[in-house]
Amino acid sequence: MSGAVKASLSRRLRSGIRALPILTALVTMVACGSESGPSAGKAGAGDAGRSAVRIVMVTHGQTSDPFWSVVANGVADAGRELGVRVEYQAPSSFDMVRMSQLIDAAVASRPSALAVSIPDPSATARSIKAAIAAGIPALSLNAGDEAWERLGLLGHIGQTEYEAGRAAGERLAVHGAKRVLCVNHEVGNTSLDTRCRGLRDGLAKRGAAMLVLGINLADPEDATQRIKNALGRDAAVDGMLTLGPGGAAPALTALRESGHLGRIAIGTFDLTPEVLAAVRDGRLLFAIDQQPYLQGYLAVVLLTKYLETKAIPGGGQLIRTGPSFVTRETAADVIALAKRGIR
């Protein structure tokens, strides 16, 4: 239907085709026991002739989170436009053990360059340092604005989470909210903790308070219940900030089902077509845009250019892709782009 969806499809297809010979060989080999020889060794040798540059990205993005498809679309587009090979890897759930294993495997595969997100520096620092020790140019994106420099990365592409949270807090407070829930869908992601901290400080300027509520993205029904229960427990809550679209959808459902819609000011981090429609219709006050497409796209561009020229913007610094705010006035324009998976 759209270019971005096609790009993502063809990416999956390509890697599926690469996976196929291994799969069939594996199954036949195990099924036949020791009889079949190592003749399958020639499979998968079809990558020769492509550009030698190979960039691997490892993120923490949960499979069920639409946000990361947009990042992956940026990666795929940049790879195609530049003619470099890109690979995107992420654990299926928020799993730091698996994520560090993915980084280890990526490092062992000796890519030309590496891009990672750093949601929990203490869990993945060792794997990231191993990449740098192996001489692989690496930068971080999305999460890690407080850790990238300490780990010796080339730079970081993303938004400053604290400032984004604080700006959201100021907006909610100006709108009159006095008691605001910070709805966290990835408890353990320090970037999200930072957003809640920013929210608290933004609210505090006008004497408003913040409470954290943890939810589980894998089960939207449970997430909705949790938000409803929190509203039922504390009648004074009059504002809410969800830290991603995965949290925004159950939050809106919870508000509708409990009859709070319109009485509680609610904003969210990050965009989806559904979030934007809610902003356009006034059910959401605002959506904070960190421009994930650019995070994926720029990571590939900057690393490719670094490999060619050893140059990096600012000589290595935080490259901001956000925060910017999408409000009722601007939402309609962005919806078409979000539907194509590029905003």
Q: Rule CB under 8 A: which residues touch another protein?
A: 12, 15-16, 18-19, 21-23, 25-27, 29-31, 33-34, 36, 38, 40-45, 47, 54, 56, 63, 85, 87-97, 100-102, 104-110, 120, 122-123, 126, 130, 134, 187-188, 212, 214
Q: How far is the CB of 204 from another protein (least distance, A)?
A: 18
Q: How far is the CB of 69 from another protein (least distance, A)?
A: 12
145 phi/psi in degrees, rounded to 5 = -65, -15
Give yes or no for a contact between 300 and 75, defined as CB atoms under 8 angstroms apart: yes
Residue 140 is encoded by which pair of tokens?
Answer: 């971080």
Q: How far is the CB of 55 from another protein (least distance, A)?
A: 11
Only one residue has tokens 């709805």, namely 183
Q: How far is the CB of 215 from another protein (least distance, A)?
A: 11
Q: How far is the CB of 80 from another protein (least distance, A)?
A: 16
Beta-strand (E) ranges in 97-148? 113-116, 138-141
Q: How far is the CB of 26 from another protein (least distance, A)?
A: 6
Q: How far is the CB of 127 from another protein (least distance, A)?
A: 10
Residue 153 is encoded by which pair of tokens?
Answer: 């990365």
Residue 202 is encoded by which pair of tokens?
Answer: 């933004």
**CA end-to-end span of the chain:** 16
Q: Left (φ > 0), alpha (ψ -120 to 50) or beta: where does 287 sit?
A: beta
Distance CA 11, CA 88 (A): 10
Distance CA 325, CA 260 (A): 24
**For residues 242 and 291, which CB has a smaller minimum distance to another protein in the complex?**
242
Distance CA 188, CA 222 (A): 19
Residue 225 is encoded by which pair of tokens?
Answer: 């219940």
DSSP 64: T
Amino acid at 305: K
**For residues 126 and 205, which CB has a smaller minimum distance to another protein in the complex?**
126
